[in-house]
Amino acid sequence: MTQGGQGVQGGRGVQGGRGSGRGKSRDPKSRDPKTRDKATDPARRVALDVLRAVRRDDAYANLLLPRLLRERGLDRRDKALATELTYGTARTAGLLDLIIASAAGRAISEIDGDLLDVLRLGSYQLLRTRIGSHAAVSTSVDLVRAEHGMGQAGFVNAVLRKVSQRDEQMWIDVVAPSMADDIVGHLAVTYAHPRWIAEVFAESLGSIGELQAALAADDQRPIVHLVARPGQITAEELALISGGEEGRLSPYCVYLPEGDPGSLDAVRDGFAGVQDEGSQLVALALTRADVGEDAGRWLDLCAGPGGKAALLGSLADLDGAGLDAVEVSEHRAKLIENIVDGLPVTVHIADGRDSGLEPGFDRILVDAPCSGLGSLRRRPEARWRRTPEEVPELVELQTQLLTEAMRLVRPGGVVVYSTCSPHPAETTGVVAAVLDAVDGAEQLDARPLVAGDAVEPASLGSGPHVQLWPHRQDTDAMFMAVLRKPVTH
């Protein structure tokens, strides 16, 4: 989309369709690295390297950035700047691309990928930070000049100067559909979401006002949520040693407004972990459900990456129960084993649809693989990677996993089905299909199991399922439903 604005003249920066894909780009090592490093500041260099890895290699920003910050020894101020620039640019890439295309007068696919990374980084500084225009433009030009020379630097300079002539709202007026003609499309551009995701949110929420609130919340960088593992440390103790605040919904949650959670002794020693409060509530709902006499056989059927297994394992240890954790990936299974070391958890490397386990479990969690649309604020680049075409295959997998869980649970036992997605096809659609297929199965009201003593169940919607949202509960948009297998006579 290139409506509005005059294009930048000349052919510099055009690379014949290489665009923003992962095609072969100029190798930064072709220039003297000493010259390159002296010409650019460390914070922007880290941010650019992460953004480039995200584009070229499908890297995850939230995994790569902490490692680069440690390796390069940035001071606190530069760490904060690199973090803001990396996550902010990755989160808003689609909006930035519309603006860059309009300013450059050419399609994004016609701009060299390496230059596009710099243009995104510079545009984000111009539009969404208090960094001065001169600094945002000049540091971006320095990044390009150090790798590509003056010609390409001139192209970047011209485009960014064009971007700097309008603020973000003025650019949205240029590149977004009008509110009158296409309100969902307008909000999608305004809050940097692909249109199809905004449409999914609108279908799930049912009102434009809530859609705007949800997209706005998703467009903000969230604070870190810690989990205090029961029996090892309390939330009160974790809040004291971390400088955080106890959570509102989960009795094990601590909010950490700033700082690196990996630097905390409690996290390094395994007494605590990083886990969104919504995910904690899913695990708690499983343990709070009434199953009659609990024989202590619990199952996490899709256990990777291990956060819920660690919380369930800690609670099982206190209750004298045992947890089986199933993970199809050998690598992820080993990570789970490390996390649950010392807890009554047995890790199985198997496909959850055919685990080889014997039926008779009291409690089963199916935290199914999903589109992840509910955690976009924590995975900034994910919104631009996901496509609607991926959903039907995921729904088939989710249905198979939940069906198998209903086979493995004992009569009178419960299954908690959860996804980090508000997509109706992945949530209520899957639950309805399985309920229709399992004679006598019933869906329990999940709201009291999620609310606990913290909130009124009515505040969690009309039930029987629970759909959390960033703009409502300040959690990831977790969905959960609780199913009971009928008791046969």
Q: What is the pLDDT of residues 63-95, one digit of tens each?
A: 999 999 999 999 999 999 999 999 999 999 999
Asked if residue 300 lies in contact with residue 367, where contact means CB atoms within 8 angstroms, the answer is: yes
Burial 115-154 (b: 16+ CB within 10 A, else e): bbbbbbbbbbbbbbeebeeeebbebbbbbbbbbbeeebbb
Q: Specify the pLDDT at position 125.
A: 98
CA 172 – CA 106 distance, rounded (Å): 18
Share of the chain above pLDDT 90, in %: 85
The neighbouring-strand residues paired with 481 are 417
> What mean pLDDT comes out for the span 365-385?
96
Question: What pTM, to 2 d.p., does this model score?
Answer: 0.89
Asked if residue 466 lies in contact with residue 374, where contact means CB atoms within 8 angstroms, the answer is: no
Confidence of residue 40 (pLDDT cuts 50, 70, 90): low
> What mean pLDDT comes out for the span 28-49?
65
**What average pLDDT does the structure give for the chain?**
91
Assess whether pLDDT exceeds 90 at residue 1: no
Q: What is the dihedral of CA 430, 431, 434, 435, to 10 degrees?
A: -150
465-486 pLDDT, tens digit each: 999 999 999 999 999 999 999 9
Q: Return the closest-CA partner of residue 119 out of 174, 164, 149, 79.
A: 164
Asked if residue 454 lies in contact with residue 248, where contact means CB atoms within 8 angstroms, the answer is: yes
Which residues are known catalytic residues? 420
Q: Which residue has better confidence, 361 or 28?
A: 361
Lowest mean pLDDT among 67-76, 134-143, 188-197, 416-425: 67-76
Q: Specify the pLDDT at position 453.
A: 74
> What mean pLDDT comes out for the span 397-407?
98
What are the residues whose beta carbons fall under 8 Å from the beta carbon of 69, sequence distance 6 or more? 46, 79, 82, 83
Of 58-62, 349-353, 452-456, highest mean pLDDT: 349-353
Angle, helix 391-408 to helix 428-437, in steps of 10 degrees: 40
Angle, helix 42-57 to helix 113-128, in steps of 10 degrees: 130
Q: What is the DSSP letter of 486?
A: P
Q: Specify the pLDDT at position 259.
A: 81
Helix (H, G, I), strand (E, B) or coil at 227: strand
153-201 pLDDT, tens digit each: 999 999 999 999 999 999 999 999 999 999 999 999 999 999 999 999 9
> What mean pLDDT comes out for the span 249-256?
97
E strand residue ranges, 332-431: 345-349, 361-367, 409-419
Assess whether pLDDT exceeds 70 at residue 207: yes
CA 410 – CA 103 distance, rounded (Å): 62
> Where do runs of H (alpha helix) occur along 387-489?
391-408, 428-437, 447-451, 470-473
Asked if residue 114 lies in contact with residue 26, where contact means CB atoms within 8 angstroms, the answer is: yes
The neighbouring-strand residues paired with 273 are 227
Q: Please give the helix or strand (H or E) that residue 55 lies within, else none.
A: helix 42-57
Asked if residue 241 lies in contact with residue 441, where contact means CB atoms within 8 angstroms, the answer is: no
Q: Specify the pLDDT at position 455.
A: 78
CA 299 – CA 232 distance, rounded (Å): 22
| Encoded amino acid at 252, one letter | Y
| Encoded amino acid at 261, one letter | P
Assess whether pLDDT exceeds 60 at residue 36: no
Assess whether pLDDT exceeds 90 at residue 354: yes
Assess whether pLDDT exceeds 90 at residue 410: yes
Assess whether pLDDT exceeds 90 at residue 489: no
